[in-house]
Amino acid sequence: MPPSLPDHTPHSAALDRARSKAYWRLLPLLFVSYMIAYVDRQNVAVAKLTMTKDLAGFDNAVIGIGAGIFYIGYVLLEIPGTLMVERWSARKWICRIMITWGMMAGLTAAVTTPWQFYTVRFLLGLAEAGFFPGVIVYLTHWFPSRDRARALAIFLVAAPLAQILSPFVSFELLKIGADTAHPALLGMVGWQWVYVFWALPALLLGGFVFYKLVDKPAHAAWLTDEEKLALQNELERERGLTSRGKRLTVLEALQHPQVLLLALAYFCMTTGSIGMELFMTSILKDWYQLKDDTLKWLITLPPAAALVGQLVAGWSSDRHKERRWHAIVPIILGSVSLGLLPQTQGNLVLTVVCFMAAFTGFKSYMPAFWALPNLFLTAAAAAGSIGLINSLGNLGGFCGSTLLGTVEKMTGSYVGGLYYMCCSALVSASIIFSFFAMRKKAADSDDVKT
């Protein structure tokens, strides 16, 4: 529910109406789009359970590398894609992204060799590049700072919700071609249908986004003239406050020490979180030899906990107007839980509890974290920096998934990889703390000059 905080501007009633309409008109469509994007990116975690048995040469190392190569393609178009949202059209660019990623996601069903798998995953990363940071930039065109962390939290909740709902469909699809009671369908077996089935919504939503998404308040037919003016004035007022002093170009923003620090923090964070998400299903199956019907229920518990944590963290961050500890504390919770995970092997309940705490921490920091670039950057500079942070940070997804899969292949155990990812997340928390120390030093220096 959109907040109803008091506003003492002359157009407060119109502004509140505009804020409420923006929530209900925009966030549901963005939410569903991100859900499908997340499933298409992560459904390899379920598909691999039979994919590695059906295809020669496929093992955890191949799956880990393929999952990681996605982020290499993702990096190459991330900054240009984010700038397209800022300078051209979010509606048209997100439409293009969804249609091309749907095509690439479906094409994964046709792979037969590791190199074909790597190629399709790389192309999927290219296709999806710019979607996530583009939406973050897009939200700054619609939501004042008081609403932004909460709007981000609602949008980001799509990821854990996708992880809750998609296994029930994907595990049913895996049964296709598994035995005589579930014959192959149209010449394809279960893991292939996992990719094809989840590709279709992306293609359909792409067209829906083109016709329903609105780039800026001035273009919204569902806002009155008074509501448009009130919302635009509020957003312009905030941009004016943020841009006091020297206005940075995109290139200057990409070299800004605080931007680079956030990129490094996100890199360390995704190294821990993405590897865990990709291999949680395999870890539970390998450690406890669970049947698929039991497994699909257990793997929904961690994202369910993360969903609640993410909403609470976003609400609390906006309510208290605080970002630092709302980012740092969840990361510490997640990293400690990940570090304890190997000690729980043999006790299924404790293992699932640790996964739940790790997921909660590694999702709940995000609303506060993604509000940070707009504390000191505006317009194209903010868009470019968000693209840089997300693209360089997501290279951690390549490192985490590749490392965990390779370590398991070499040692027969996930333990070494889990400890590495735990330490990486703790480094991220330290970097975010340093970010705020740097900002305080810069603010004190400005006060002295003044």
Residue-wise pLDDT tens digits, 170-194: 888 988 987 776 787 888 998 999 9
As a whole number of angstroms, the distance between CA 236 and CA 232 comes to 6
Please choose, from the candidates 154, 439, 375, 420, the residue with its C-alpha nearest in 3D space to the C-alpha of residue 273: 420
The pair of structure tokens assigned to 367 is: 């609303």
As a whole number of angstroms, the distance between CA 131 and CA 165 comes to 21
**Which CATH architecture fits 12-449?**
Up-down Bundle (1.20)
Residue 78 confidence (pLDDT) above 80: no
The pair of structure tokens assigned to 54 is: 């059906």
pTM for this entry: 0.72
The dihedrals phi and psi of 129, each to the nearest 5 degrees, come to -55, 130
Per-residue model confidence as pLDDT tens digits over 262-318: 889 999 998 888 888 878 888 998 899 888 888 889 989 999 999 899 888 888 887
As a whole number of angstroms, the distance between CA 147 and CA 142 comes to 10
The pLDDT-based confidence of 251 (bands split at 50, 70, 90) is: low
Residue 88 DSSP one-character state: T
Residue 247 DSSP one-character state: P
As a whole number of angstroms, the distance between CA 430 and CA 99 comes to 39
pLDDT for residue 450: 35
As a whole number of angstroms, the distance between CA 277 and CA 163 comes to 9
Residue 88 gets the label, from left (phi > 0), alpha (psi -120 to 50) or beta, of: alpha
pLDDT for residue 23: 86
